[in-house]
Structure 1
Amino acid sequence: MIRLFLALAATIGFGLFLASCNTLSKEECVAADWRVIGESDGAAGYEPQQRFAAHAKSCERVKIVPDQTIWFQGYQAGLVRYCTPLSGLARGQAGSGYANVCPPETVPGFLRGFGLGSKQHELQARLSSMQSDYSNKETDIDELSDKLRDAKDGDRSELRRRIEDLEDDMHDIRRDQRDVQDDLDRVNEDVEWFRRNPNAELPAPGY
């Protein structure tokens, strides 16, 4: 795998992996403990080829060449901490992505947690979006109501119609919110069960 890293870097060039920012400062490159950096990268679930290439690009500025062998040893150690069911849950809850880095023997557990956490994150985001939409429509109704008080007779029916449409939309949002909240309550229960039983399959399928 290390030879693959070197061949990839030589063929494609480190610059393709790092568009605009440096993963390490000049000072960090000079003082780097590559095993510690690799372990941190593995524990964070970074894709290894791209992450090491980015470090190498960052350290070109001070003519430091990262020790790929030592870095990768640390990376593998960090990956052990990353590829657990509870880590997968936390990553999913945070809305993080997954770079397909876990070895085959740990993938099922990690993905069980990751899928469950991602579902919880998605439902929470939907509820938040619905509440924001509801609040925006409330504001629109307040503004239209202010206009209605000063409107001419010819404009009043149109303003009332727009207010009624917004009220209908708000009613629909509240109905949908209840459905999503029910789904979220069920997922929250599964999350609590999973925390207590991280190495077991969920009792009900679906996430």
Structure 2
Amino acid sequence: MKISSSVILACLALLSACSTLNEQECRSADWHQLGIKDGQQGEPANLLDEHKESCTRYNVRPDESRYLAGREAGLKQYCQPGNAFRLGMNGEAYKGVCPLDVDAAFRRNNAAALEVYNSKKKIEDTDRQLSRKEHELTEKDTSDKERIRLREEIRELDRKRDRLRSDLHYQERELDHLMDEARYRGEPR
């Protein structure tokens, strides 16, 4: 069986796309700085295994101890309470990478902020649905039966949006409380 060169090239391209580092990066890496960068981004510890796998192809061995020391330093920045709030408000869930002494608080703060983010997205989605239904209602070719159905759907969406807004108000109060607690303890926001 003959394999075409284009299939081989496609497979090689696919393999290289899965690599965390290319040959140049493997050969010139400052493993401590790379660890800091990965830690600051909240990357899981097993990313080092992926770096090792990428660099093994080029006969480069990562400096594991320097990488892990750098990652630990980077995690100190990532695991600040303010970052938990920021990540959640941007729709990013906590990856479970912080040390045990701050993990529970980070998880709680991130979850509260993420809940607010998700509620806002649900309200936006409901608003879009309402706009579509209201537009359908005003179209000339909408039958009377359709109009009755659309009005009921609009009423239901209005009720849903009211519930979501009420939930959001409560969630924002909870988030404010957690942020105040973090400020009171002198933790950076």
**Smaller-chain TM-score range?**
0.7 to 0.9
* Alignment partner, residue 80 of structure 1: 76
SS at match of 2:104: helix
SS at match of 2:93: coil
Corresponding residue to 1:176 among 116, 135, 160? 160
CA distance in 2, matches of 1:116, 1:188: 8
* Alignment partner, residue 167 of structure 1: 151
CA distance in 1, matches of 2:88, 2:144: 44
- Whether the 8 Å CA contact 2:93–2:114 is kept in 1: the answer is no
* Alignment partner, residue 147 of structure 1: 141
Paired residue type of 1:198: A
- Whether the 8 Å CA contact 1:43–1:81 is kept in 2: the answer is yes
- Whether the 8 Å CA contact 1:39–1:74 is kept in 2: the answer is yes
Matched, 1:29 2:13: no
CA distance in 1, matches of 2:77, 2:97: 12
The worse-fitting range, judged by mean Cα deviation, of 187-196 and 102-111 is: 187-196
**TM-score normalised by length of structure 1:** 0.71
Contiguous gaps of at least 5 residues in structure 2:
1-14
* Alignment partner, residue 40 of structure 1: 37
Count of residues in correspondence between the two structures: 171
- The one-character-per-residue Cα deviations of 1:127-176 (angstroms, maximum 9, x if unpaired) are 1221122222234334xx3324xxxxxxxxxx211122112111211222
CA distance in 1, matches of 2:170, 2:16: 42
* 1:90-169 equivalences in 2 (<5 Å): 90-142=86-138, 145-148=139-142, 159-169=143-153
- Whether the 8 Å CA contact 1:95–1:118 is kept in 2: the answer is yes
**CA-atom RMSD in angstroms:** 2.5
CA distance in 2, matches of 1:122, 1:66: 39
**TM-score normalised by length of structure 2:** 0.77
Consecutive aligned runs of 4 or more in structure 1 exceeding 6 Å deviation: none
SS at match of 1:146: coil
SS at match of 2:60: coil
- Whether the 8 Å CA contact 1:85–1:112 is kept in 2: the answer is no
